[in-house]
Amino acid sequence: MQKDSERIPYSYRQKGDLTTGPIQSHLIRMTIPMIWGLLAVISVQLADTYFIALLGDTDILAGISFTFPVTMLISHMVFGINIALSSVTARLIGEKKTDDMRRVVLHGLMLAFTAAGTIALVTYIFLKPLFFMMGADDNTFPVILDYMPLWLAASLVLALPVNSNSAMRANGDTTMPAIIMCSIAAINFVLDPILIFGLFGFPALGVTGAALATFIAYLCGTFLALYILIVRKNLIATDGLHLDKFKDSMKRLLVIAIPAGIANVINPAASVVAVAILAAYGPEAVAAFGVASRVEAFALLVAIAIALGMAPIIGQNWGAGFYKRVRETIDHAIVWNLVWSACVALFLAIAATPIASLFSDDPAVIHYTVLFFWIVPISYGIGNLVFGWSAAFNAIGRPQIAFVMIFVKSFIITIPALFIGGWLYDAHGVFIALCISNIVSGLLFHIFSSRYCEQRAHENEEMLHTDDANAKTV
């Protein structure tokens, strides 16, 4: 096994190689474009929410708020393939297996498109019972029906650029994926007011216009992503479908994609439960949760970008056997996350009322939104450690551990806490429950994950010493 000190000097001409050079420089270079990319992804739904809110109808805003947990749930299902593709691609790059990497990327995109289509179709078939089970009624469901069918079509299209971006990031490039996602966000932002309000001679489509804008934006992003992946990056096999090795690709991908996908479905399941509980306290509480959740996703994008940005670094170094660099990457990411989360919590506490007023003039909606910002963000720093550690375990090919972490956090800790909080203190208790469950789960899994990494590092050091001793004997 090659020691860290024996590696070749770092060269910026090899930016795709994350196994050499200073970890902190790599993390900065990988994270900053990820911030812009995630900002773009989140801004699509935030823009939809903002322009739809200008229609001035609380039922419409509540209807769109019902869709948020479901759209997030669907996105997270496909995101399991994204995680798997990034992990497998990065480790194959670290192992210098270029042909296998390009073939796996091709099969990963095929898998993602098929999975997205299946999920979209099933969701459409069960659209009405799903949302009525969540608490939608005859006033809010027509809004949902105007938005979801086109959004489901858009989710099918989105599977291709999102997974193409995953392959690019595994190769050490987060700039191109950020450009692609920013292009999508810009197109959506321009089209939203045109199609929602009927500007420049277009018909006013309302909520349907928001979904149509998203569909067009995602379609443009797909063409751009495939062009870069195939022509500019040469990261995908173009000499055939390689169906003889499709089974091998699926074995590599699905062993991570299935548990990662289930874990990603479980995570937003808590949001679905929260919406169902809040529905008992009126559409204002649901609308407030929808607004707060979108702003929350916006505020936490740096912490998410850090976790996603470190994954290719961890994957390549794990594949190359440089375990100390893996732990160094995780340590830097934890510190950055804690600092950013503290700043976010302080900002949201101070600016809670102005932010809430941007989305609604209903006093009840503003009240619940402000309450959320005063309570839940306290837990961000510790709570985000669960996502960070799960990203690390997925990157090294240990999705089972990541799955257990997410399952315990959501089903064993968060969802029971939501019911208890709602029973004791109504909507206020739901927000308190979210805060407490984030802190408890974050501390629990940080302690476990740190000990796991220390044990693995010790085992690898012993293995290295054994190999050196055997070499000297020979």
Is the per-residue pLDDT at 104 higher than 50? Answer: yes
pTM: 0.67
pLDDT at residue 188 in the model: 92
In Å, how far from its chain's centre is CA 324?
Answer: 26
pLDDT at residue 87 in the model: 81
Interval 117-135 mean pLDDT: 86
The gap between the terminal CA atoms of the chain, to the nearest Å, is 16
pLDDT at residue 295 in the model: 83
426 — alpha (psi -120 to 50), left (phi > 0) or beta? left
User: Which of these, 383, 93, 37, lies nearest to 233 by C-alpha position?
Assistant: 93
Is the per-residue pLDDT at 4 higher than 50? Answer: no
pLDDT at residue 1 in the model: 39
Residue type at 187 in one-letter notation: I
Residue type at 266 in one-letter notation: I
pLDDT at residue 194 in the model: 93
Residue with tokens 């802190």: 439
Confidence of residue 11 (pLDDT cuts 50, 70, 90): very low
Residue with tokens 């090795």: 245
pLDDT at residue 346 in the model: 93
Interval 3-13 mean pLDDT: 37
Confidence of residue 362 (pLDDT cuts 50, 70, 90): confident
Highest-scoring range by mean pLDDT, 27-36, 82-91, 415-424: 415-424
Residue 249 CB partners (closer than 8 Å, separation 6+): 103, 104, 107, 108, 242
Q: Which of 58-67, 286-295, 305-314 has the lowest mean pLDDT?
A: 58-67
Is the per-residue pLDDT at 266 higher than 50? Answer: yes
pLDDT at residue 219 in the model: 92
